[in-house]
Every structure is written in C-alpha cells, then in structure tokens.
Amino acid sequence: MKKKVKVYTISAVAELYEIHPQTLRLYEREGLLKPSRSEGNTRNYTDDDLERLEVILSLTRDLGVNLAGVEIILNMREKMDAMQKEFERFFEYLRNHASEISHSKEDISDSEALIPISRLGSLQRRRNNQD
C-alpha cells in the first residue's frame, strides 16, 4: 500500500511560517525550494519541503546568511548526506564481509601488508618464478 504524502499550498505554508508567498516564490526561483506541481500547476509543498524551508529560514533569520550562502550551505549538506550514506553502505559491506577479509588478511605476510596492492601482484609473480 502506497503511503499518501501530505501536501500544503503556498498560502498555507506562507501563513504557517509567517512569510509572504512571494518569498516562497523567490526561494523557488533561486533553486532553494523545489515544490511539486499539481495538474492545475499549483505548488504542492511536502513535509520534506517544509523541513528544508525551516533550514532556509533559520539560516536567513537567525544567522543572517544571504541566499547565495544558503545555497552553498544546502549543497554542502546534501553532499555530506550523500557521503554519510556511502560510508554507511561501506561499513555495512565490511560487516557482511568481515570473515572473508580476515581470511584473506591471514594469507598476506606482515611485510607484504606494507606493500601497495598494485605492487603486490608483481612481487607474487617474482616469487612464483623463483620456485
């Protein structure tokens, strides 16, 4: 069953946050907010949009950041969120493959552990040729 997303009109959002609808339109023009549109082209703001708006308002009202600065901060937050998700996927991979990693680690001698992987193959080939 698909979860129904709650949406808000521009007038409801403007009233809720005590801002002029033109301010919301400006944020959209600047690319800071991207509300979806209905079939009649009415802006529909979701809870995610409202969370983003709260960050924008906090930065502008409380910290005095201009819109260019807000854009940079929001972009950095998105990149940091993406990096966090990538780290989580990597750590999950490590957790799932820990036993494989520990077994392959046992196959490498202590001195080989300090050799870059790219050179390890050539070292092993040389050993095989000597045998």
Closest CA to 14 of 30, 28, 4, 31: 28
Confidence (pTM)? 0.67
**Least reliable range by pLDDT among 64-68, 80-84, 110-114, 123-127:** 110-114
Please state the rounded mean pLDDT for residues 3-23: 94
Domains of the chain: 1-72 (1.10.1660.10)
Q: What DSSP line would sit under 14-81, residue for residue?
A: HHHHT--HHHHHHHHHTTS---EE-TT--EEB-HHHHHHHHHHHIIIIIS---HHHHHHHHHHHHHHH
Give pLDDT tens digits for 23-51: 999 999 999 999 999 999 999 999 999 99
Give pLDDT tens digits for 77-107: 999 999 999 999 999 988 888 877 766 655 6
Amino acid at 108: I
H/E stretch holding 97 reads none
Closest CA to 55 of 69, 43, 35: 69
pLDDT on residue 14: 98
Q: What are phi and psi of 79, to 5 degrees?
A: -65, -40
